[in-house]
Structure 1
Amino acid sequence: MTAAAAGGARATRRVVVEADGGARGNPGPAGYGAVVRDADSGEVLAERSESIGVATNNVAEYRGLIAGLEAAEEVGAGSVDVRMDSKLVVEQMAGRWQIKHPGLRPLAAQAAGLVRRFGTVTYTWIPRERNRHADALANAAMDLAAGKAPATDRVARAHEVAAQGSTAGSSWEPRPASTATRLLLVRHGETEHTALRRYSGRGDVPLSERGRAQARATAARLAGLAPSVAAVVTSPLSRCTATARLLAEALGDPPVVTEGDLVECDFGEWEGRTFAEVRERWPREMDAWLASPEVAPPGGESFVQVGTRVSRAVAGLLATYPGETVVVVSHVSPLKIALRDALAAGDAFLHRLYLDPAGLSILDSWPDGGVAVRTVNDTAHLAAL
């Protein structure tokens, strides 16, 4: 190939950059991952992954974008389609959102400088389920930053997950249920706040009498569905732990395990208020919150932050209980996010799905990364209450 021909190939090569980043906490031990693929064949041309010490999720996401663009330049890309599950980075780099945080401006400027080296760059938001390769690399880097495992082990696992994700979910071929890890997702029973349509986040509101009756009805339903349960894993808040204990009693007393990552979203200043009160007092903040998972209630937690820990919790369950059945007792927000990710749905799903108190959803996951959502918000067992 002549030098001119080589230059022409560089100018016309189309690539996809998949990038992600995150932190164990926010801020916390952080890392990023980036993958460059040929746009036509899907072949992986380059990978990047690095632990970056203590940083925020957004900083790590921008670092992943920068690493992906640098790698795209190295493989001779002329046209780049950036795909990320960070709505904030995609919207800011596309020029639709302002960059208000001063700590992100230098990173955005660095990314913009790299963008000018290509003929065209586009930005596309994708659900986390479709960003598994970069997500796995980022998680490997985060684990390394937190000192959880040798780098070789974590990167090997990241490649294993990425390989699974490249083919899983694209086939209708039936998989045997016996090899799946089954998660029986249960929302806690009703509380006084539930009945009054009040925001219940980190406030420790106990089950009402009706909520306890709902939990017992759910326990009877699960006893018929799951003859063998490895564990009942629950949010630490009492409305969940009380539900979990009633379920465990009906299931032969499997261990009840508390998992902090399953706790409800922190609704900040909205805690304990009715939906109508929040709409009246914080109309602009509520509109922004409904429009973007990156936005948190005043003094609270965004759905992006909740999603980070829910993904971590689900991954931990799949690693700890392979091929077994686990009951997961949690709240509306974490359960919606788990179902959104399993269905590879968009963020609008979070505001369109309704989950009743003591409603049951069933999620199967296979070792090859395949996922099947079998039931969503089943409440037949509550009909007699």
Structure 2
Amino acid sequence: MQSFILIRHAETLSNSRARWHGDSDEPISPHGRKEAAAAALRLRAMGQVPRLIVCSGLLRARQTAEIFAQAVGPVEVVSDSALGERDMGDWKGLAPSEVEDRWPGRLAAWEAGLVEGPPNGETDSAVTVRALDVLAKFTDLGKGLVLVVTHGGIIRSLRKAQKLPNIPVPHLGGCWTYLRGSAADWSVGPEVVFGDPESLPKT
């Protein structure tokens, strides 16, 4: 069994403004850099030193991964575009309140598992499949933890597939995930929070 810790990248300016930027690219904010450095030290203090860090190809995830690698290293960082954030379709650039104004009840229906995703956006099922395909690439490298720096949409979709609450993921928080040889045999484990536990984003 291969163990992964999946975490969301550090904060960006769009995150701080409570807007979905989806698969558009954006660096982490100055506050996000400070939070990522502190989070990496918390991971190291717990004795959870990864043998490899895998990240999304988007800048905010790569920057977060590099900060972690410097703090717990030397650790190789591997980027994979298939770990990128979901396409938020018609909701890209909007705040939850704006989504509710334009599509009353649709956001709540998505969070409740009644719909698969935003209008004209990527479905939860599609996100889950591509994320698991990436994780499966790293199940035959021997023992040791793999840290995955990705996006809230990836983690939410994986949790939703396991019938867990579809709620916003804190920056630098996420969950343990386990694969037993293939993308078809997997499970989500306990939550992890390496950032501010009191800071729960709206997106």
The reply to whether TM is greater than 0.5 is: yes
Counterpart among 299, 302, 320 of residue 123 in structure 2 = 302
Equivalent position to 2:136, from 307, 311, 315: 315
1:20-56 residue CA offsets vs partner (Å, 9 max, x unmatched): xxxxxxxxxxxxxxxxxxxxxxxxxxxxxxxxxxxxx
Partner Cα separation in structure 2 for residue 218 and residue 226 of structure 1: 13
Out of 167, 176, 188, the residue aligned to residue 362 of structure 1 is 176
Does the CA contact (< 8 Å) of 2:136 and 2:179 recur in 1? no
Distance verdict in 2 for CA 1:197–1:384, change over 3 Å: closer
Where does residue 158 of structure 2 map in the other structure?
A: 338
Q: Within 1, Cα distance between the matches of 2:107 and 2:176?
A: 31
1:217 aligns with 2:32: no
Deviation at 1:312, TM superposition (A): 1.2
Q: 1:255 to 1:270 in 2, by over 3 A?
A: same
Unaligned 5+ segments in structure 1 are 1-179
Match of 2:147 in 1: 327
Give the Cα–Cα distance (whole angstroms) in 2 for the partners of residues 335 and 298 of structure 1: 20
Q: Alignment partner for residue 242 of structure 1, among 63, 85, 103?
A: 63
CA 357–201 in structure 1, closer or farther in 2 if over 3 Å, else same: same
**Aligned residues: percent identity?**
27
Supply the distance in 1 between the matched residues of 2:177 and 2:113 (Cα, whole angstroms).
26
Q: Report Cα offsets for 1:339-376 as digits up to 9, x if no partner.
A: 445xxx32xx352x342111153334456968572x30
Higher RCO by CA contacts (8 Å cutoff, separation 6 or greater): 2
Correspondence for 1:378? 193
Structure-1 separation of matches of 2:139 and 2:122: 25
When Rg is computed on C-alpha atoms for both structures, the one with the higher figure is 1
Aligned residue in 2 for 1:205 = 26
Aligned equivalent of 1:229, options 38, 46, 50 = 50
- Contact kept, 8 Å, 2:158 with 2:188, in 1: the verdict is no
Of 98, 102, 105, the residue aligned with 1:281 is 102
The SS at the match of 1:283 is coil
TM-score, L = length of structure 2? 0.82
Verify: 1:192 aligned to 2:7, yes or no: no
1:362 aligned partner, one-letter code: W
Q: Deviations over 1:132-161 (max 9, x none)?
A: xxxxxxxxxxxxxxxxxxxxxxxxxxxxxx
Q: Is the Cα contact below 8 Å between 1:362 and 1:376 reproduced in 2? A: yes
> Deviation string for 1:65-115 (max 9, x for gaps)?
xxxxxxxxxxxxxxxxxxxxxxxxxxxxxxxxxxxxxxxxxxxxxxxxxxx
Q: Provide the C-alpha distance between the structure 2 equivalents of 1:339 and 1:201, rounded to a whole number of angstroms.
A: 18
Output the CA distance in 1 between the equivalents of 2:181 and 2:126.
Answer: 26
**3-state SS, counterpart of residue 138 of structure 2:** helix
Shift of the alpha carbon at 1:289?
A: 4.0
From 71, 85, 88, give the equivalent of 1:267: 88
* RMSD value, Cα: 2.9
Instruction: Letter of the 2:157 partner, please give it.
Output: I
- The amino acid across from 1:303 in the alignment is D
C-alpha distance after superposition, 1:244-268 (max 9, x if no partner)? 0000111213111111221111001
* CA pair 229-197 structure 1, distance change in 2 beyond 3 A: same
Q: Which amino acid in structure 1 is aligned with residue 58 of structure 2? A: L
Shift of 1:275: 0.8
Structure 2 equivalent of residue 254 of structure 1? 75
